[in-house]
Amino acid sequence: MASETDRIESSVLIAAPVERVWELVTSAEHVGRWFGDIGAEIDLRPGGALSFSWKDHGTVHGRVEVVEPPRRFAYRWHYARETRDETTPGNSTLVEFTLAAEGERTRVGVVETGFDGLELEAAERAVRLAGNTRGWAQELAELAEHAVAVTTA
């Protein structure tokens, strides 16, 4: 079991079916709009490269770990912006999305782990954990807004 300093868990209920939400969570076209504000690239296969880009934060690179449509998607992403080094537990965290139907809606869960294993000072790991905790709450809210926008458009 991961410690309180190693794990973030968050979820949101999306007013769309699982198959549609899968597309919103794994398609670069959509992820680049609700997650990265200036784009994303996703090679949707285990071992595939991915990147997320923001105007104010630069680009983060990573590697796809799990693709199990339409229920589970996981990737590792670097804690250092612009880094393209091999993705390891010492320089990245693991993000896992799970999708589950709740009637005609979809529960999207996200779990990010691996903060304790980052090759950083404890204080810096704590800053990253706190920032990503706030960030996932915000990003999942943006996912829900994006789902409404593209469903009603």
pLDDT at 120: 92
Residue 52 lies in a domain: yes
**How many other C-beta atoms are found inside a 10 Å radius of the C-beta of residue 137?**
14
Residue 123 is part of which domain span?
A: 7-152
Q: Is 2 a member of any domain?
A: no
Residue pLDDT, tens place only, 108-149? 999 999 999 999 999 999 999 999 999 999 999 999 999 999
Q: How many domains does the chain have?
A: 1
pLDDT at position 28? 96
Q: Which residues of the chain have pLDDT under 50?
A: 1
DSSP SS3 for 80: coil
Q: Is the distance from CB of 99 to CB of 21 less than 8 angstroms?
A: yes
pLDDT value, residue 82: 67
Does some domain include residue 125?
yes
- What does the alpha-carbon distance between residue 8 and residue 138 come to, in Å, rounded to a whole number? 13
**pLDDT of res. 1:** 45
DSSP-derived pairing of the beta strands 92-102 and 105-113: antiparallel
pLDDT at 75: 98
Residue length, the chain? 153
